[in-house]
């Protein structure tokens, strides 16, 4: 016996699928469409739905002159506003909500909130639909340790999003990491980038033309001004990312990485290559392999190589070899101290360029 909630959502799906005349849909196609939404139904049950409850409560038209029968609503029937989504759409809304909450402006999220609520309630109400269980069975995990999201004040986020959406200037009180002091700045917003656990506003400061990045969680106060931003036709967000933003001292070029890697890393890179241009060859007299790959000259790739530790011996690029040697020397000196009381001082510029 079908669950009452499943039956309710199945009936709503049916009413949504049946078109207005002169269009029509066959019983066979309705069955296929319902099965595509993972409703557990056979032809006999569908026929009972159509001829029974739905035909009693709704003005369904049935063309019995053809087999299979064709179903439609009279063309003058008003459009129904059904309080339900099709099951795949409900699943997509539930999975997308947490991801989009940090990307969409609050004004758009508020418009979508009832869709998110409806989708959650619909999936919770379906007991025998496999798609409804997908959310409980599927997760995504980051590659490596993921830090907690930097907390952004909701009022700040709302003002920043409004300024960016409506191309208006923004006045902020910003905590400078390098000087550990608050500054009041007038910003011309140009874009926004979410990177790992931190979201950044990209823009220019009043009186300057260079584009800078501002971590949203360091904005203490924000006010969207009733003044338009100046035209910035030269700004292209992907170009900004590739040309030196986000921990990269300059434009990101590509170079050849040459390294010897342990069997475990070779296996990993066979399944998930480091780049499209990658080659692995066994080293004679060893179970290690020689890796050659075309990689971006950026801090994240360098830190990935450094994080492999004793599982990699880097040969090229030479500059990276020198950086890794220097880090190993500093680490050895740090751990050689019996009871270190002071850690080496790292400047803000160094931290920005060296942090992963």
Q: What are the CA-CA distances from residue 15 to residues 29, 35, 123, 150 (Å)?
A: 14, 15, 18, 45
pLDDT in tens, 51-97: 877 877 788 888 988 888 899 988 887 665 555 566 777 777 777 77
CA distances (Å), 86 to each of 81, 98, 126, 196, in order? 13, 20, 12, 33
**pLDDT surpasses 50 at 356:** no
Residue 283 carries which DSSP code? P
Which of 34-48, 135-149, 285-299 has the lowest average pLDDT? Answer: 135-149
Torsion angle of alpha carbons 256, 262, 264, 265, nearest 10°? -20
What pLDDT was estimated at residue 168? 92
Query: What is the mean predicted confidence (pLDDT) over 254-269?
Result: 94
The segment with the largest mean pLDDT, out of 71-85, 192-206, 300-314, is 300-314
For the chain, give the percent of residues with pLDDT over 70: 86
Of the candidate ranges 119-123, 179-183, 294-298, 315-319, the one whose mean pLDDT is the lowest: 119-123
Kindly state the average pLDDT of the residues 150-163: 88
Choose among 23, 42, 126: nearest CA to 84: 126
262-266 average pLDDT score = 95
241 pLDDT more than 90: no
Nearest Cα to Cα of residue 235 among 183, 189, 169: 189
Helices (H), 215-355: 237-242, 263-271, 299-307, 318-336, 348-354
Residue 337: per-residue pLDDT: 83
Region 334-340: mean pLDDT is 79
Of 12-16, 117-121, 208-212, where does the model show the most confidence?
A: 208-212
> CA–CA separation, 62 vs 72, rounded Å?
7
Alpha-carbon distance 236 to 242, whole Å?
A: 10
Whether 324 shows a pLDDT value over 60: the answer reads yes
Q: What is the mean pLDDT of residues 194-207?
A: 88
Judged against a pLDDT cut of 80, whether residue 146 lies above it is answered with no
CATH code for residues 4-72: 1.10.10
Q: In the structure, what pLDDT confidence band is assigned to residue 234 with cuts at 50, 70 and 90? A: confident
Strand spans (E) along 92-180? 168-176
Average pLDDT, stretch 245-253? 63
Residue 222's pLDDT band, with cuts at 50, 70 and 90, is: very high
Q: Model's pTM, two decimal places?
A: 0.59
Higher pLDDT, 156 or 340: 156
Cβ-count burial 306-330 (b if 16+ within 10 Å, e if not): bebeebbebeebeebeebeeeeeee
pLDDT band at 302 (very low <50, low <70, confident <90, very high): very high
Reported confidence tier of residue 291, pLDDT bands at 50, 70, 90:
very high
Of 22-26, 221-225, 251-255, the one with minimum mean pLDDT is: 251-255
**pLDDT band for position 352 (cuts 50, 70, 90):** very low
According to the per-residue pLDDT averaged within each range, which of 206-210, 256-260, 297-301, 335-339 is highest? 256-260
- Taking the C-alpha atoms of residue 320 and residue 303, their distance in angstroms, rounded to an integer, is 10
Q: How confident is the model at residue 351 (pLDDT cuts 50, 70, 90)?
A: very low
Residue 5 confidence class, pLDDT cut points 50, 70, 90: low
CB-based contacts of 174, cutoff 8 Å, min separation 6: 182, 183, 184, 185, 214, 218, 219, 220
Mean pLDDT: which of 4-18, 116-130, 186-200, 342-356 is highest? 186-200
When the pLDDT of each residue in the chain is averaged and rounded to a whole number, the result is 82
What local confidence, expressed as pLDDT, does residue 355 receive?
A: 33
| 328 SS3 class | helix
Does domain 254-336 fall into CATH 3.20.20.210?
no
């Amino acid at each position: 016996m079908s669950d009452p909630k499943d039956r309710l959502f199945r009936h709503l799906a049916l009413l949504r699928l049946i078109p207005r005349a002169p269009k029509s849909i066959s019983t066979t196609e309705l069955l296929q469409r319902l099965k595509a939404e993972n409703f557990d139904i056979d032809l006999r049950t569908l026929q009972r739905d159509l001829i029974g409850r739905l035909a009693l409560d709704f003005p369904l038209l049935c063309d019995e002159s053809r087999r299979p029968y064709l179903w439609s609503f009279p063309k003058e029937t008003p459009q129904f506003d059904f309080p339900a989504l099709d099951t795949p759409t409900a699943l997509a809304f539930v999975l997308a909500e947490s991801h989009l909450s940090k990307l969409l402006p609050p004004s758009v999220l508020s418009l979508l909130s009832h869709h998110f609520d409806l989708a959650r309630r619909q999936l919770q109400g379906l007991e025998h639909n496999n798609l409804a269980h997908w959310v409980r069975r599927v997760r995504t995990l980051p590659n490596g340790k993921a830090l907690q999201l930097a907390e952004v004040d909701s009022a700040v986020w709302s003002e920043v999003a409004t300024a960016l959406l409506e191309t208006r200037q923004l006045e902020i009180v910003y905590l400078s990491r390098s000087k550990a002091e608050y500054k009041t700045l007038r910003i011309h917003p140009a874009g926004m980038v979410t990177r790992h656990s931190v979201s950044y506003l990209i823009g220019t400061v009043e009186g300057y033309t260079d584009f800078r990045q501002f971590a949203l969680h360091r904005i203490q106060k924000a006010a969207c001004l009733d003044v338009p931003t100046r035209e910035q036709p030269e700004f292209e967000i992907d170009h900004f990312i590739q040309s030196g933003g986000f921990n990269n001292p300059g434009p990101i070029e590509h170079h050849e990485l040459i390294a010897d890697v342990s069997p475990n890393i070779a296996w990993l890179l066979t399944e998930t290559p480091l780049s499209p241009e990658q080659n692995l060859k066994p080293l004679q007299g060893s179970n290690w392999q020689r890796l050659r790959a075309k990689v971006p000259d950026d801090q994240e790739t360098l830190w990935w190589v450094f994080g492999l530790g004793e599982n990699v011996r880097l040969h090229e690029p030479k500059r990276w070899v020198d950086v890794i040697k220097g880090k190993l020397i500093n680490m050895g000196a740090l751990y050689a101290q019996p009871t270190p009381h002071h850690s080496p001082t790292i400047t803000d510029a160094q931290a920005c360029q060296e942090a992963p």
